[in-house]
C-alpha cells in the first residue's frame, strides 16, 4: 500500500515592519474605497456658551488621491520625528543603559531582587506599570526595557517581563493611587456634557479617587495571577544556545576565583550601592523641592499660572508631566555613575560611553519599525476612519433605550470597541461624553460614574490594537530578545500572547464596574455612582 504524503505548506513569517508597511498600503487603498462609498458620520460637541449641541460632520478622506499622496510623502519625516514613543524611549534608554553598563542594575537584581518571590516581583511590576498612567504614557518607554533587563538578569524569560510591563501599563491605563493627567483630560468634557442637563455643575479632580485606588490594586492582583498561572508556563524558559558551550569556561573561572577576590568584589559592590543610595536620596529631595511651591528656588516643575496645586502639577502646561521621562532617565544616569565610581566599574568616561553605546546598537531594527509604524498610525489618523467609527458607536448609544446595569455594560463595550480604532482618550471622550453623560444622568447615574465607565472601556482594549503608538515598543522589544530570528514576533503572534490577559482583565473591569454600581460605594469624596 502506498502512503499518501501530506503536503505541508511552509509557514511564512512577516517581520512586523513589513506587516506595518503592507497595512499602510492596504489602508490607503481602503480609504479610497470608503471615501468612494461616502463613509461619514456626525458627532456632537457642547457649546459651553449656549449649552447646546453643535454637530460636526466627519468623512473618510481618500489618500489614494493626488493630495493624499502628497500628504504621505511630504509628512513622512514629520510623522517619524513627532512619533511620541521615539523621543520617550530614547531619553529613557540613556539613563537605563548607563545604569546597566556600570553594573548597578545587575548588582541590585542579584543582591536584592532575586530574594523576592517571583509572584511578588510580578505584582510589584504590574502595580507600578498600572499606576504609571498617572503621568501620561511614560510607563511604556521606561518599564518595558527595564523589565526585560531585570527579568534577564534575574534568570527569568525577558519576553515575560516585556509582556508583564506592557499589559500592566496598557490594560490598567487610567487608574492610579492618586489623580493625574487622566482627570485633567476627562473632566472638562464630562462637565461640559453635564451642562446639557444642569445649569451649573462642579466635578472635582478627586471625584474618581476611591475607585481608581481600589481598581489599581485589584487589577494588579488579577494581572499577577494571569501572568504567573497562564502566560508564564506558555512562554517557557529563556536560554541562549551559547550558554551550553560556555559552561566549562565558567567552571574553570569559578575554581580559580579565590575567596579573597570574591570578598573584594563584594566590598566594592557594597560601596557602590552606598554611593548610589546617597545619590538617590539627594536626587529625590531635589525632585520633591521642585514640586513645592512658593519657597526659595522651588517649584521648578510647576505651572505657577494655575490657581490650584493639582493643576500646577497635572495641568495642560505643567512642566512635571512633560519632563518626567527625562527626570527618570537622569535618575538612573546619576545613580549609575555614582555606583560605578564607588564600585570601581568606571575607569574613564570613554569606557562608559562605549558600553552604553553597545546597548543602543541593538535598537537598529527598532528604529526601522518605529519609522514604518509612525507612517501607518499617521495615515490611519488622516483617513478619519477611527473618528467615523467612534461617532457611529456614540450615536448608537444615543439610540438605545437602556438604563441601569445594561446601560453601563453596553456603554463600556461600545467605548472598548471604539478604542480599537481611536486610541486617543481625549478625542474619544469628546465624542462619547455629549451622548453618554446625559443618558447616564437621566438614568439616575452620576456623570462622575460615567467618567469611570469611560476610563474602564478605554483601558479594556488599550493594548490590543496595533494602532496604539506604544504597541511598537512592545513588539519591538519582543523581537530584540527573540532568539529565533527566522521566526519573528509578528503582530498577530504578539496579540495572541496577551489575549488571555486582555480577556480576563476585560471581564474583571466589567465585574468591578457593575459590582461598584450595585453596592453604591462612593467613587470619590462625597461622590456616589447614583445621583
* Region 461-479 average pLDDT: 95
pLDDT given for residue 514 in this prediction: 97
pLDDT given for residue 119 in this prediction: 93
Query: Does pLDDT of 484 surpass 50?
Result: yes
Which residue would you say has higher pLDDT here, 365 or 453? 453
* Region 89-98 average pLDDT: 91
* Position 250 confidence tier, pLDDT thresholds 50, 70, 90: very low
pLDDT given for residue 240 in this prediction: 55
The angle at the Cα of 46, spanning 44 to 48, to the nearest 5 degrees, equals 165
Q: Which three cell numbers stand for residue 497?
A: 500572547
* CA atoms 38, 41, 47, 52: torsion sign: positive
Which residue would you say has higher pLDDT here, 426 or 264? 426
pLDDT given for residue 114 in this prediction: 85
Give the tens place of pLDDT for each residue, 341-389: 999 888 777 777 887 777 777 788 899 999 999 999 999 999 999 999 9
Q: What is the pTM of this model?
A: 0.91
* CA atoms 152, 158, 164, 167: torsion sign: positive
* Position 159 confidence tier, pLDDT thresholds 50, 70, 90: very high
Instruction: Kindly give, in sequence order, each residue whose CB lies less than 8 Å from that of residue 156, ignoring residues fewer than 6 positions away.
Output: 118, 238
**How buried is residue 29: exposed, middle or buried, by Cβ count under 10 Å (0-12/13-18/19+)?**
exposed
**How buried is residue 401: exposed, middle or buried, by Cβ count under 10 Å (0-12/13-18/19+)?**
exposed
pLDDT given for residue 8 in this prediction: 55
* Position 60 confidence tier, pLDDT thresholds 50, 70, 90: very high
pLDDT given for residue 523 in this prediction: 96
* Distance from C-alpha of 501 to C-alpha of 464, rounded to nearest angstrom: 10
- DSSP secondary structure, 290-336, as one string: TT--SSTT--TTS-TTSSSHHHHHHSTT-HHHHHHHHHHHHHHHHHH
Query: Does pLDDT of 466 surpass 70?
Result: yes
pLDDT given for residue 296 in this prediction: 87
* Position 47 confidence tier, pLDDT thresholds 50, 70, 90: confident
The angle at the Cα of 159, spanning 156 to 160, to the nearest 5 degrees, equals 65
Contact criterion met (CB below 8 Å) for 416 and 457: yes
* Position 137 confidence tier, pLDDT thresholds 50, 70, 90: confident
* Region 259-284 average pLDDT: 89
Contact criterion met (CB below 8 Å) for 461 and 420: yes
* Position 12 confidence tier, pLDDT thresholds 50, 70, 90: low
Cβ-defined contacts of 298-303 (< 8 Å, 24+): none
Residue 520 falls in which region: left (phi positive, over 0), alpha (psi -120 to 50) or beta: left
Query: Does pLDDT of 237 surpass 60?
Result: yes
pLDDT given for residue 245 in this prediction: 42
pLDDT given for residue 2 in this prediction: 46
Query: Does pLDDT of 257 surpass 70?
Result: no
Query: Does pLDDT of 221 surpass 80?
Result: yes
pLDDT, averaged across the chain: 89
Query: Does pLDDT of 156 surpass 80?
Result: yes
Query: Does pLDDT of 143 surpass 50?
Result: yes
Which residue would you say has higher pLDDT here, 69 or 184? 69
* Region 303-329 average pLDDT: 83
Amino acid at each position: 500500500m502506498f502512503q499518501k504524503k501530506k503536503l505541508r505548506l511552509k509557514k511564512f513569517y512577516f517581520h512586523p515592519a513589513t506587516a506595518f508597511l503592507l497595512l499602510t498600503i492596504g489602508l490607503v487603498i481602503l480609504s479610497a474605497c470608503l471615501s468612494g462609498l461616502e463613509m461619514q458620520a456626525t458627532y456632537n460637541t457642547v457649546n459651553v456658551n449656549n449649552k447646546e449641541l453643535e454637530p460636526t460632520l466627519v468623512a473618510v478622506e481618500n489618500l489614494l488621491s493626488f493630495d493624499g499622496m502628497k500628504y504621505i510623502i511630504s509628512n513622512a519625516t514629520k510623522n517619524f520625528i513627532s512619533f511620541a514613543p521615539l523621543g520617550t524611549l530614547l531619553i529613557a534608554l540613556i539613563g537605563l543603559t548607563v545604569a546597566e553598563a556600570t553594573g548597578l542594575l545587575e548588582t541590585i537584581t542579584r543582591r536584592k531582587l532575586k530574594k523576592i518571590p517571583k509572584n511578588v516581583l510580578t505584582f510589584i511590576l504590574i502595580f507600578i506599570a498600572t499606576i504609571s498612567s498617572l503621568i501620561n504614557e511614560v510607563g511604556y518607554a521606561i518599564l518595558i526595557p527595564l523589565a526585560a533587563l531585570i527579568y534577564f538578569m534575574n534568570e527569568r524569560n525577558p519576553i515575560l517581563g516585556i509582556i508583564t510591563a506592557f499589559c500592566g501599563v496598557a490594560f490598567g491605563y487610567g487608574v492610579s493611587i492618586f489623580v493625574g493627567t487622566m482627570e485633567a483630560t476627562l473632566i472638562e468634557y464630562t462637565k461640559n456634557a453635564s451642562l446639557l442637563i444642569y445649569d451649573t455643575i462642579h466635578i472635582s479632580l478627586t471625584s474618581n479617587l476611591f475607585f481608581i485606588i481600589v481598581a489599581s490594586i485589584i487589577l494588579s492582583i488579577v494581572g499577577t495571577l494571569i501572568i504567573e498561572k497562564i502566560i508564564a508556563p506558555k512562554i517557557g524558559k529563556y536560554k541562549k544556545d551559547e550558554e551550553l558551550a560556555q559552561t566549562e569556561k565558567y567552571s574553570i573561572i569559578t575554581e580559580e576565583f579565590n575567596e579573597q577576590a570574591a570578598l573584594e568584589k563584594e566590598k566594592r559592590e557594597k560601596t557602590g550601592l552606598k554611593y548610589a543610595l546617597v545619590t538617590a536620596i539627594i536626587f529625590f529631595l531635589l525632585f520633591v523641592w521642585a514640586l513645592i511651591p512658593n519657597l526659595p528656588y522651588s517649584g521648578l516643575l510647576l505651572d505657577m499660572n494655575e490657581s490650584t496645586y493639582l493643576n500646577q502639577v497635572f495641568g495642560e502646561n505643567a512642566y512635571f508631566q512633560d519632563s518626567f521621562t527625562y527626570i527618570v532617565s537622569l535618575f538612573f544616569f546619576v545613580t549609575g555613575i555614582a555606583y560605578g565610581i564607588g564600585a570601581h566599574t568606571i575607569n574613564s568616561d570613554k569606557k562608559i560611553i562605549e558600553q552604553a553605546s553597545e546597548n543602543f546598537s541593538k535598537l537598529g531594527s527598532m528604529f526601522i519599525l518605529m519609522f514604518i509604524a509612525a507612517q501607518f498610525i499617521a495615515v490611519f489618523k488622516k483617513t478619519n476612519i477611527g473618528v467615523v467609527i467612534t461617532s457611529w458607536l456614540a450615536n448608537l448609544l444615543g439610540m438605545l433605550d437602556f438604563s441601569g446595569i445594561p446601560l453601563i455594560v453596553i456603554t463600556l463595550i461600545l467605548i472598548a470597541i471604539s478604542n480599537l480604532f481611536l486610541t486617543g482618550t481625549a478625542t474619544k471622550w469628546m465624542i462619547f461624553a455629549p451622548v453618554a453623560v446625559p443618558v447616564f444622568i437621566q438614568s439616575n447615574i452620576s456623570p462622575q460614574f460615567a467618567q469611570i465607565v469611560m476610563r474602564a472601556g478605554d483601558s479594556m482594549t488599550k493594548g490590543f490594537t496595533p494602532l496604539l503608538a506604544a504597541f511598537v515598543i512592545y513588539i519591538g522589544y519582543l523581537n530584540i530578545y527573540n532568539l529565533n530570528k527566522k521566526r519573528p514576533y509578528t503582530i498577530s503572534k504578539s496579540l495572541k500572547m496577551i489575549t488571555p490577559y486582555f480577556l480576563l482583565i476585560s471581564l474583571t473591569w466589567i465585574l468591578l464596574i457593575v459590582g461598584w454600581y450595585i453596592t453604591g460605594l462612593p467613587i470619590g469624596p462625597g461622590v456616589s455612582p447614583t445621583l
